[in-house]
């Protein structure tokens, strides 16, 4: 057996040698990567020659393993009642699981003396691209050099920085072995083998001891906010509203940004309860993993009603679900919580005890499940229906159209 000092991972020869091996070794090869991993001890002791090292040091038939490239990296929540739109950040209930996914997991082979840009996934001549997501059953010859990888512990892992900013000493969350990396390939018939249940909010990211390019909008990172179950453990998220005239009336509007990758999204195991409206402009919330936090000096105001319309097309009165997707303010609310979706009054003339619970997240409606249809939130200030732009005066003051307003959602775990 030929062996180079192991630094990061080993590459096990098996396909080209399979017919010359004893029966026990051929069984290991037929099962491909999962079987190779399970029988790693057998392979190491003498059945299959191996070569090990880092990217840049492994050479086979004049080709050098230059780098790994992982394309369209996402993190996807697992085990939810239904699938939700992928996002740059997620709000999860404590105990929810999440797993890394990607479209390709490539290793790039460059012939010695060649200069390969690897801008495309196609192999040609001195530049060979072997994709673990597509070359699962056949690694003989080019572009995979007749070998399959067995990654050692710590080669690929998920780590977490609790402050939402990368540090030199993140917490290790998940170790990804070879079978995990294969199962993470985006395949509708295949679920990830490895996932994790984030215990705390923070920046979670992929890290490797190898030379790796994490390609895609997320760059191999995800911001996670974990909401604990129980009274008093709710969290808050705020967004800046934009003034707009809809159906001839003044509204202040917010919709989650991004398409098809949303700026943030929420587990269906969470829901919005209290909603408050502030007069002011957002402060920077990046230290908390948020776009917006309420500034130190901002003033609570009272809306007359709000609407949360799925698939908003520019009209409120003409929206087919307008009558069931609105809540009027409670005149007796405390702490500025004039609207609570657990006790929503659909009409202004309804008594305060005639309410309906509205199960929804800030980004989509949960019941019925409309996870792909963005909600648009429209906040109205009509003094005829009890709105007040200045709670410090006895009169109901009108809201000027140029006013800067913030919407704050209270997020509760179901």
- In 3D, which of 240, 236, 337 has the Cα closest to residue 292? 240
Q: Give the pLDDT of residue 190.
A: 65
* Residue 100 reports pLDDT greater than 90: yes
Average pLDDT over residues 219-238: 94
- In 3D, which of 254, 238, 240, 242 has the Cα closest to residue 290? 238
Mean pLDDT of the chain: 86
**Kind and range of the H or E run holding 38:** helix 32-38
Q: Give the pLDDT of residue 42.
A: 26
Average pLDDT over residues 227-244: 94
- In 3D, which of 278, 49, 272 has the Cα closest to residue 145? 49
pLDDT band at 47; cut points 50, 70, 90? very low
Do 371 and 81 meet the contact criterion of CB atoms below 8 Å apart? no
Q: Give the pLDDT of residue 149.
A: 80
Q: Give the pLDDT of residue 4.
A: 30
Q: Give the pLDDT of residue 45.
A: 31
- In 3D, which of 405, 62, 115, 410 has the Cα closest to residue 252? 405
C-alpha distances (whole Å) from 331 to each of 288, 323, 340, 349, 387 are 33, 20, 12, 12, 9
> Do you know the residue count of the chain?
414
Reported pTM: 0.86
Residues 6+ apart with CB under 8 A from 292: 237, 238, 239, 240, 282, 283, 285, 406
Q: What is the DSSP letter of 28?
A: H
Q: Give the pLDDT of residue 114.
A: 92
Average pLDDT over residues 313-327: 96
For 126-173, the pLDDT digits (tens) are: 999 999 888 877 788 889 988 888 888 899 999 999 999 999 999 999
C-alpha distances (whole Å) from 408 to each of 228, 272, 411 are 19, 10, 10
Task: Give the least confident one: 63-77, 107-121, 180-194, 317-331.
Answer: 180-194
* Residue 1 reports pLDDT greater than 80: no
Average pLDDT over residues 35-58: 48
* Residue 279 reports pLDDT greater than 80: yes
Chain centre distance of CA 332: 39
* Domain assignments of the chain as residue spans, ordered by start: 9-62+106-151, 71-102+153-227, 235-413
Q: Give the pLDDT of residue 96.
A: 97
Q: Give the pLDDT of residue 338.
A: 96
**Kind and range of the H or E run holding 131:** strand 127-131
* Residue 23 reports pLDDT greater than 80: no
Q: Give the pLDDT of residue 9.
A: 53
For 345-390, the pLDDT digits (tens) are: 999 999 999 999 999 999 999 999 999 999 999 999 999 999 999 9
Average pLDDT over residues 80-109: 95
Average pLDDT over residues 309-335: 94
For 7-18, the pLDDT digits (tens) are: 345 554 333 333
* Residue 230 reports pLDDT greater than 70: yes
**For the stretch 16-25, what's the b/e string if a residue is b when 16 or more beta carbons lie within 10 angstroms of its beta carbon?**
ebeeeeeeeb
Average pLDDT over residues 382-402: 95
> CATH code for 71-102+153-227?
2.60.40
Q: Give the pLDDT of residue 306.
A: 97
- Comparison of pLDDT for 6 and 387, the residue scoring more: 387
């Amino acid at each position: 057996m030929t062996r180079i000092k192991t630094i990061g991972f080993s590459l096990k020869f098996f396909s080209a040698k399979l017919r010359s091996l004893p029966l026990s070794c051929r069984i290991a090869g037929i099962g491909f990567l999962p079987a190779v991993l399970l029988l790693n001890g057998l392979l190491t002791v003498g059945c299959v020659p191996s070569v090990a090292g880092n990217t840049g040091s492994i050479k086979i038939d004049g080709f050098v393993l230059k780098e790994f490239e992982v394309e369209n990296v996402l993190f996807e929540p697992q085990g939810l009642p239904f699938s939700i739109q992928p996002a740059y950040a997620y709000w999860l209930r404590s105990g929810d699981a999440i797993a890394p996914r990607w479209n390709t997991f490539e290793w790039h082979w460059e012939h010695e003396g060649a200069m390969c840009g690897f801008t495309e996934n196609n192999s040609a001549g001195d530049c060979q691209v072997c994709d673990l997501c597509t070359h699962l059953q056949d690694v003989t010859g080019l572009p995979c050099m007749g070998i399959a990888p067995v990654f050692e512990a710590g080669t690929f892992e998920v780590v977490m920085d609790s402050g939402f900013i990368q540090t030199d000493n993140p917490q290790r969350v998940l170790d990804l072995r070879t079978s995990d990396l294969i199962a993470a390939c985006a395949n509708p018939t295949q679920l990830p083998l490895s996932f994790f249940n984030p215990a705390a909010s923070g920046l979670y990211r992929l890290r490797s001891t190898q030379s790796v390019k994490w390609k895609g909008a997320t760059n191999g990172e995800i911001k996670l906010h974990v909401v604990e179950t129980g009274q008093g453990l709710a969290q808050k998220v705020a967004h800046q509203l934009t003034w707009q005239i809809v159906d001839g009336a003044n509204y202040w509007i917010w919709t989650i940004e991004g398409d098809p990758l949303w700026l943030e999204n929420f587990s269906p195991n969470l829901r919005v309860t209290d909603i408050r409206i502030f007069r002011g402009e957002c402060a920077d919330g990046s230290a908390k993993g948020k776009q917006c936090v309420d500034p130190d000096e901002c003033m609570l105001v009272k809306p007359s009603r709000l609407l949360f319309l799925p698939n908003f097309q520019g009209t409120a009165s003409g929206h087919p679900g307008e009558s069931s997707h609105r809540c009027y303010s409670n005149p007796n609310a405390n702490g500025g919580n004039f609207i609570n979706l657990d006790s929503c009054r659909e009409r202004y003339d309804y008594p305060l005890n005639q309410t309906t619970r509205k199960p929804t997240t800030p980004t989509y409606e949960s019941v019925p499940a409309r996870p792909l249809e963005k909600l648009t939130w429209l906040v109205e200030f009509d003094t005829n229906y009890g709105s007040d732009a200045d709670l410090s005066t006895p009169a109901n003051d009108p809201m000027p159209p140029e006013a800067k307003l913030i919407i704050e959602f209270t997020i509760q775990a179901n």
